[in-house]
Structure formats: C-alpha cells, structure tokens
C-alpha cells in the first residue's frame, strides 16, 4: 500500500501546483463588453472629478461618502474606463482597488437604506396598531415621500451591486469584512464505523483575515489571483478520528506499542480487563481542537447580474491539533487540498493528510452551509466532517476486549451551529447582513 500512497500523494501535489501556478500567472479578466454593467446613470464629472487624485488615496474617503447617486456615478465611470482601457488611474490594479472600495461603499449604503425602509414600515405598522387606522392613513405625506425616495435609491444601488436582504439565506463573500470574528454555539453527533454516538455541545471561535484580493472588483471572473484568507479556529468538540483503540498485550501485561509508536505501561500482575478504558479507546471524549488554515483562491465564476453569487475554487492547507484529558500529548493534524466556496462560511473542502496519532493516511471531506436566517442577521449553519483512513488502517495486537487486529476508525461528525458576529454581540447592534 505504501507505493500507492506515495503515487497518490505525488499526483495530488502535482495537480495542486499546476492549478496554483496557472492561477497566479493568469490575470483575472473583467466581463465581456456584451454583458451589462448595471450602469444606466451617466457619469457625473462633478462627482468624479477627483478620481485621478483618489488613485493615490487623496480625498478618497470624501468621494466614497458622497450621496448614493454620486457614488453610483463614480462606480460606473470606473467600470466603463476599465472596459475601454481608458483609465483614471495609472494602472489597472490601482483602478480596481479604488473600484472595489466604491462597490463596498455602495453595498453599505444599500444596507443602511434597507434597514431605514424596514424601520419606516415597522413604525407605520405600530402606528396603525395603536390608532386602529389603515396603513395608508398612518403614513404622512412626508413619510410616504421619504420611503419612496429611499426605495428609488435602493433600486438604483441594486442595479449596480448586490445588496443582501435581512431574509436572504446566503451572504456573498463581498459582504464580509476584511477581518471578522464569529462565535458558533451548537450541537454535534459523531458516527464511528457506522455507530452513531451520543450528541454533545459544540462551541467554536473563528477569526478570519483577508490577504490580498483588494484589487478584485465585482466584474472580475475566471482564473486569476483573487487573494486568500488566513483563518484561526478553536473549538470544544469531539476527539473525532483520534478515537481509536490501543492494542493491549493481555497475556503478559507488558509495555506495548500504540499506533503512534508511544509506549503504554501496564501492570504484569494485574493485566487490563475488557472493561478497562484507556486513552484513545472507542469512547468519544470531548477535546479542545485548534486549527490554523490558509486558503488561496485561483478561480471565480462570473456573476451575470448583481444578485448572482460567485463560486470560488482554490487551495487550502490546515495545521492544528486536538487535546483531551484522555491523551497525554497534543495530537497533530496536517491536511491540504481543494476548497470550493461561496463565502468564508459556505464551503466544501476535500483534503488529504495525516493525524499524528494514526498510522493511516487520511482523507477528510468537510463542509458547511446556511440553513436559516435570523432577524438579528445571524445564521444557523449545518455542517459535517468525514475523516477516513486510506491505507494501513489495521495493526497487529488486540484491543481491550481481546480482539485483533486493531483497525483505525472512520469518523463522521454532523453539527448544527448558531453563528454570531462577535463585534455585533459586544456592540449590541444588529448585523448589517
């Protein structure tokens, strides 16, 4: 089995390097001229006269904080210039960096308008309930005019960029801050070799930071360098694939070797019985898990309208560990592979690697997707992790029940979590998403 493992690893590594090299060497390209820009508003020279200066960051914040119509005009001007290759900035990279900031500003203005419209509608409904009059009578002329104006502006913004509604299940990757913190609280179930174990609480913390990608505007798609993210995750979870049975020499009770090569001392005068619980046996323990992962995106699908969400494909590497009271040392985990995603919280990973307490090379498939949006802006997520041995799963020896050889376990974890933005949690405000 070793030659097969080495050959598989070589092919996996070669494929990953070829993909990564192609992505880095291929410039991401904008939408073809036949595709709509969502810009039916003429550019305003007065609003955008400082665009050339803003390529050097001069007064860029002032330009971005203009009324929505002016920001739309500047956004459209930048997009049209990129398509015609007549740039306000010295380089295309600078122009896309500025365009991305305008697009993000428009999304935030759209979210602010969305919340204001919802507040107007709630106030009207509350007034109607208190006075028992019709909704139309509850609205004054000023209120109607203000709401209509906000709706018109929001419609214009939505023609240019995607604006996430409160009830939308999916959050596009573009809506996430460059650095964000999430707290997940939920419940998980663990299945070991087709045996469904008891459920247990699951609590995790996610810290995510964008690397690069600041020059990628909404109209860019295909192969290219879309930047990546560095993520740190820490969780109270199960021992997962580390839940294995150590071999025991029941004849002599002497020192024996575990699957990791470490020694487990036993008393020769009192050999372990079948009911003995040893570190790493088939009882699922709670563990503290941590992982540092890096992802780099090399391909993105085209969004034909502002409401289309991009698909992303790239590489992922992950290094971390598990620590439980049942094990004296930290068990290391080292994996790498491919990631498909629509956002940092909606993804599927296909990875190959190893867990240091196991002899077998492992295949890990994991994913997470939103299933329910909450009024607060939080989401409920459903996720799963499958970790499977590829080779060398069986070892000589007997387990605590006197059976052998030892076979390392395949594990499937299914969980449901409530994701809360930590910044919003401490500020007491609702999420903008």
Q: Which two tokens stand for residue 231?
A: 């993520």
**Helix/strand/coil percent split, the chain, to 5:** 30, 30, 40
Enter the DSSP assignment of 401: T
First CA to last CA across the chain, in angstroms?
49
The pLDDT, as a whole number, for residue 183 is 94
pLDDT tens readout for residues 139-151:
555 566 677 888 8
Burial class (CB in 10 A: 0-12, 13-18, 19+), 180: middle
Rounded to the nearest integer, the mean pLDDT of the chain is 74
Q: How sure is the predictor about 295, in pLDDT bands with cuts at 50, 70 and 90? A: very high
The alpha carbon of 141 is separated from its chain's Cα centroid by a whole number of angstroms, namely 45
pLDDT at 122 over 60: yes
Contact in structure between 207 and 181 (CB atoms under 8 Å)? yes
C-alpha to C-alpha distance for 98 and 78, rounded to whole angstroms: 8
Q: How sure is the predictor about 415, in pLDDT bands with cuts at 50, 70 and 90? A: very high
Length of the chain: 433
The pLDDT, as a whole number, for residue 323 is 85
pLDDT tens readout for residues 164-220:
877 788 888 888 888 999 999 999 988 876 666 677 889 999 999 888 776 778 878
**Most confident range, picked from 36-40, 110-114, 255-259:** 110-114
Q: Which residue has the higher pLDDT, 94 or 30?
A: 94
Q: Which helix (H) or strand (E) segment is 149 a member of?
A: helix 141-158
pLDDT at 24 over 70: no
pLDDT at 255 over 70: no
Domains of the chain: 45-158 (no CATH), 173-427 (2.40.128)
């Amino acid at each position: 089995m070793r030659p097969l493992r080495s050959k598989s690893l070589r092919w996996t590594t070669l494929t990953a390097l070829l993909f990564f090299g192609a992505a880095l060497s291929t410039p991401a390209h904008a939408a073809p001229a036949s595709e709509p820009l969502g810009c039916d508003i003429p550019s305003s020279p007065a609003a955008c006269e400082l665009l050339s200066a803003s390529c050097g960051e001069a007064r860029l914040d002032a330009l971005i904080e203009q009324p929505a119509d002016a920001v739309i005009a500047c956004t459209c001007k930048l997009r049209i210039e990129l398509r015609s290759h007549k740039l306000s900035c010295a380089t295309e990279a600078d122009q896309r960096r500025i365009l991305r900031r305008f697009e993000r500003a428009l999304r935030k203005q759209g979210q602010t308008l969305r919340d204001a419209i919802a507040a107007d509608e709630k106030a009207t409904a509350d007034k109607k309930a208190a006075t028992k009059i019709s909704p139309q009578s509850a609205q004054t002329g000023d209120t109607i005019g203000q709401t209509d104006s906000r709706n018109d502006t929001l419609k214009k913004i939505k023609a240019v960029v995607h604006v996430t509604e409160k009830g939308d299940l999916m959050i596009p990757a573009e809506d996430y801050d460059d650095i964000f913190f999430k707290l997940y609280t939920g419940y998980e179930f663990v299945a070991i070799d087709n045996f469904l174990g008891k459920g247990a609480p699951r609590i995790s913390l996610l810290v995510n930071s964008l690397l690069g990608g600041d020059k990628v505007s909404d109209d860019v798609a295909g192969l290219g360098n879309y930047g990546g993210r560095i993520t740190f995750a820490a969780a109270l979870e199960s021992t997962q694939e580390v839940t294995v049975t150590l071999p025991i020499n029941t004849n002599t009770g002497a020192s024996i070797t575990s699957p990791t090569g470490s020694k487990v001392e036993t008393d020769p005068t009192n050999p372990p019985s079948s009911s003995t619980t040893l570190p790493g046996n088939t009882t699922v323990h709670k563990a503290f898990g941590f992982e540092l992962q890096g992802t780099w995106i090399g391909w993105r699908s085209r969004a034909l309208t502002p409401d289309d969400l991009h698909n992303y494909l790239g590489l992922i590497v992950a290094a971390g560990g598990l620590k439980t009271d049942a094990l004296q040392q930290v068990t290391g985990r080292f994996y790498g592979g491919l990631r498909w995603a629509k956002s940092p919280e909606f993804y599927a990973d296909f990875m190959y690697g190893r867990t240091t307490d196991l002899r077998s090379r492992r295949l890990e498939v994991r994913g997470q997707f939103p299933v329910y949006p909450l009024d607060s802006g939080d989401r409920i997520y459903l996720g799963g992790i499958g970790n499977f041995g590829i080779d060398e799963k069986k070892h000589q020896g007997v387990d605590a029940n006197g059976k052998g050889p030892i076979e390392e376990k395949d594990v499937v974890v299914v969980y449901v979590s409530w994701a809360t933005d930590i910044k919003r949690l401490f500020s007491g405000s609702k999420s903008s998403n």
